[in-house]
A and B are shown apart, each in its own frame.
Chain A
Amino acid sequence: MALILEIAAQAFQMFLVVVVAPLMLGITRKVKARVLRRIGPSVLQPYRDLWKLMHKEAVLADNASWLYRTVPYLSFAAIWVAAALIPTYSTGLIFSWSADIIAIVALLAMARFALTLAGMDVGTAFGGIGSSREMLIASLAEPAMLLVVFTVALVAGTTQLSAIADHMIHGTVGLRVSLGLGLFAFVFIAIAENARIPIDNPATHLELTMVHEAMVLEYSGRHLAMIEAAAAVKLTLYFSLLVCLFFPFGIATEDKSAMSLAIGIGSYLVKIGILAVLLPIGETTVAKMRVFRYPVFLGGAFATAALAVFLLFVSQGF
């Protein structure tokens, strides 16, 4: 019985992230529109879009292979699984230990690997350019991400996300410059990984922003729906990861009563909602970068994260 309850809690988390994700996307789009003094579509528009795309006929290129048809589901599954294993409303769910933060980053890399391959399947220039640039961004972002992981793991003494969240709540963390720097670097990385401005613009596939959208240009119908859903879940995943690593307050820990779980769910939704409002506001204040400025942007994230590790060494003095 206890096992069934635990599995139900895990299933609920899986359900939660995938249901909330389009809403988050909707909020970012709405806020962005409002900041730009447009009215913008309803926050529920992403749900409608997905619904419509799912019911449309999928058009495949003549020479598309089986890989091309599998990848949307595979990349969606990888991102969904990663999102389901990050503690959102409660720590210590039954399968949360099956992947630590490094494994979650690797699952995202898996989704990216699949999608870049699909971009090259049909043999068009657009797909190739998107894949190639996506890989450039990954190669710049991953070292920085590892150093962020290193910082957090050093503070908490673990790479287990549940344990990190527990430590951040109960442990004596104090004022740590390193964590601030880590957060800063993490935000940079998250922006790059989610193809947001100034790295990429999720709203267009024009020449300036030919990364993610160029890569999936050939997709249509239900396949495109899966890719869009995966992008939405990925955004929510990064929100959850940020919340879990740096602001886990309110999450249910040892106490698994209905009350604390409800507080956990409520606070999680409020926190990611705030992030979904902050992101577009930040985005509107900067301009899109050209491709060969990416190294400077992500190099800044790397330097910040490296500095975080150094400062941590100094302050802990071990």
Chain B
Amino acid sequence: MGVGMPAIVGLFCVAGFLATAALAVVVGRRPLGAPVIYGASFLLSILGLAAALTALIQNAEPAALTLPIGLPLLGAHFRIDALSAFFLVVVNGGGAAASLYGIGYGRHDPSPLRVLPYFPAYLAGMNLVLFADDAFIFLIAWEFMSLTSWALVLAHHQSPGNVRAGFIYILMASAGTLCLLLTFGLLAGPDGGYAFATIRENHHQIPVAALVLLLALIGAGSKAGLVPLHIWLPLAHPAAPSHVSALMSGVMTKVAIYGFIRIAFDLIAEPEWWTSLVVLAFGGITAALGVLYALLQQDIKRLLAYSTVENIGIVFVGLGLALAFRANQMPLPAALAMTAALLHVFNHLLFKSLLFFGAGAVLHKTGERNMERLGGLIHRMPQTAFVFLVGCTAISALPPLNGFVSEWLTFQAILVSPLLPQWGLKLMVPAVGALLAFAAALAAACFVKIYGITFLGRGRTLAAQTASETDHFSLAAMFVLAALCLLAGVFPGVLIDLLSPVTNAMVGGRMPPQIGLAWLSIVPITESRSSYNGAIILVFLIVSGALTAMVIHRFATRATRRSAFWDCGYPDRSLATQYSGSSFSMPIRRVFGVTLFHVRERVDMPRPGETRPGHFHVKIFDPAWRLAYGPAGRAIWAASGKLNQLQFLTIRRYLTLVFAALIVLLVVVAAWR
């Protein structure tokens, strides 16, 4: 294997990011510091993006490279193949957008030294995970990524709640890394071959393979945000500055997915079919619960973070399907499911970054994250409002934008599932499909809520009424992403073909080539089975809508009059009579929340004649905290309380303990023999 150009360029970028981080420490306080650092990050990301795209398009042989750093005698192994090239596109694409946004947005940061050095370092860490070709480098890079992002979460540590967010984040990240550590330990086996090439050649026993897969699901899933390992995500993502939130939601969760794919599809030879059942169940539940959580939020950024949880669930459903098909030697459907998952990874990068940028713009211009104190921003920030609408439409899986394409492909893969021989899968997959449809419908509700309350209606506070449009760099980043959302939705065939080397390498098959098809439609299996054409839908929509409007304006009337709103004859100018975010989600909260979230509503209405105000209380209990973390935390607390007594023993007691431990060990040894 030769040393490919993209690998060298990529590693150069990593070094460049680290150098930028060092530079940031020096120039961070200068007024031009932020633009310089973000500009450098932008250029390096573009370079990395170009290198990764070249690697993906050329479809070259995997290129490996060993550098004499890291552990003595072993060196550090780096490699770039189709899978890592695709995820490098995601990381550097997201990095470039966030840097561009940061040029404008980062200028106003109150404490630049808490953000500027870590931002490029964070990008370096994520890049490095994708280049790693041995377990050592992988874990080091993974931890580096976690720690830098942790530092970014704590950038605004003065704000209430952020310290707690950072604490929970570092706790969950450590637990996840521990699982990955065990995963690689099991994979390497007793001989301790930690290079990925050695691991691939190991033949793993079936129970070991299954255990490794489950550990990887927990380890990578905790970083990606699988329910119930998601608890840190809605705390940490909103706490960071908005462009970092975009990176964490849009990019870092994808690096976690990369970790899972690398282990489950590449390093383990043949996992058992039932492991796919576990992945599917986690995916389906994550998708449905994630979006339900999201609907209950009033904080824009937290809502977006929960929506990330949902989308991660959709990706894992695709991956679970791919595992199931691969275990049954069905490469074509496996490639379809895998393509759907990877396409959703890419699409989610686009629209989630866009939405976080939009939320950042709103936050910056109004100082508010709570949508109940916003409203009417479509008049004050028209351009942000427009691109945010594109993002909302895309993430709600509506044609002709990109979110729909990947969900449509996932549904197509689900519709192939009756061909699977195992009855468990046959019955499970339609159930997961119903959960996905449920999640898609609720996602639409969720984004109607965020858009309707934040951007539409009348401004609820002075801040919302006097907001102004955001800066040009931020707008540029958002417009580029919005355009990409549309392009990816209208010409998905190009992306699907780009993904074919990845699926070839991972599941041994690819979807039929799409670019040559007539009218640029996409056909997952055969045309008589299903096909979709975003471009034609778009043209039809524009033509029929515009035609109707023109005909009516030309031949009927175009007279328009402005007046106060009607409201069925009882207009009330008060701003408080508008529908609020929590009232918007009330029906859904009541229908689904009572059992799942133990929602308790209490109305405290003063009697006629009383002058005190009425109150309405809603209590929501997170099932993950209530059922898992709460009891676990209490158990640890109780155990540590008990163990604390060890501190106050006499010397004789300590000696007794040591003696007892020795005897127990000796007995164990004796029994072992």
Contact = CB atoms under 8 A, between A and B. Distances in A.
Contacts of A73: 545-546, 548-549
A227 interface: no
A163 B583 contact: no
A313 B427 contact: yes
B484 interface: no
Contacts of B275: none
Interface residues of A, number: 89
A39 interface: no
A223 B353 CA distance: 34
A196 to B, nearest CB: 19
Contact of B585 (A59, A116, A132): A132
A90 B584 CA distance: 43
Interface string A48-78: 0000001111111111011100000110111
Interface in A154-203: 154, 157-160, 163
A99 B577 CA distance: 41
Contact of A147 (B430, B530, B542, B566): B430
Q: What is the interface of chain A mostly: helix, strand, loop, or mixed?
A: helix
B211 interface: no
Nearest to B545: A77
A32 interface: no
A133 interface: yes
Nearest to B586: A132
Interface in B401-424: 404, 408, 411-412, 414-415, 418-419
B594 to A, nearest CB: 11
Nearest to A62: B562
A274 interface: no
A146 B531 contact: no
A283 interface: no
Contacts of A116: 448, 452
B557 A100 contact: no
A103 B441 contact: no
A122 interface: yes
A57 to B, nearest CB: 4
B274 interface: no
Nearest to B550: A73
Interface stretch (B91-99, B140-148, B192-200, B533-541): B533-541
Contact of B376 (A14, A63, A99, A126): A63
A131 interface: yes
Contact of A98 (B379, B444, B531): B531
Nearest to A291: B587
Interface in B372-405: 375-376, 378-379, 389, 393, 396-399, 404
A20 B81 CA distance: 57
Given A55-B556, A138-B445, A139-B438, A65 B456 contact: yes
A74 B565 contact: no
Contact of B398 (A100, A113, A123, A144): A113
A55 B448 contact: no
A123 B585 contact: no
Contacts of A140: 441, 591
A123 B433 contact: no
A120 B565 contact: no
Contacts of B544: 14, 76-77, 80-81
Contact of A150 (B433, B458, B529, B586): B433
B448 A135 contact: yes
Nearest to B457: A123
A117 B452 contact: yes
B588 interface: yes
A81 B587 contact: no
Contacts of B376: 63, 123
Contacts of B445: 135-136, 138-139
B537 A99 contact: yes
Given A139-B588, A160-B528, A57 B451 contact: no
A60 to B, nearest CB: 5
B71 interface: no
12 contacts: A59-B566, A99-B533, A103-B408, A106-B397, A106-B399, A113-B444, A123-B456, A124-B565, A128-B452, A142-B441, A158-B528, A306-B430
CB-based closest 4 A-B pairs: A128-B579, A123-B457, A120-B452, A77-B545
Interface of B: 375-376, 378-379, 389, 393, 396-399, 404, 408, 411-412, 414-415, 418-419, 426-427, 430-431, 433-438, 440-442, 444-445, 448, 451-453, 456-458, 519, 521, 527-533, 536-537, 540-542, 544-546, 548-549, 552, 556-557, 559-568, 571-572, 575, 577-579, 583-588, 590-591
Interface of A: 14, 54-63, 65-67, 73-74, 76-78, 80-81, 84, 95, 97-100, 102-103, 106-107, 109-110, 112-113, 116-117, 119-129, 131-133, 135-136, 138-147, 150, 153-154, 157-160, 163, 205, 217-218, 221-222, 225-226, 291-292, 294-295, 302, 306, 309-310, 313, 316, 318
Given A128-B578, A217-B568, A226-B548, 15 more contacts: A55-B557, A73-B548, A99-B399, A113-B396, A126-B567, A128-B583, A132-B579, A135-B448, A135-B588, A138-B441, A139-B441, A143-B434, A150-B415, A158-B528, A218-B566
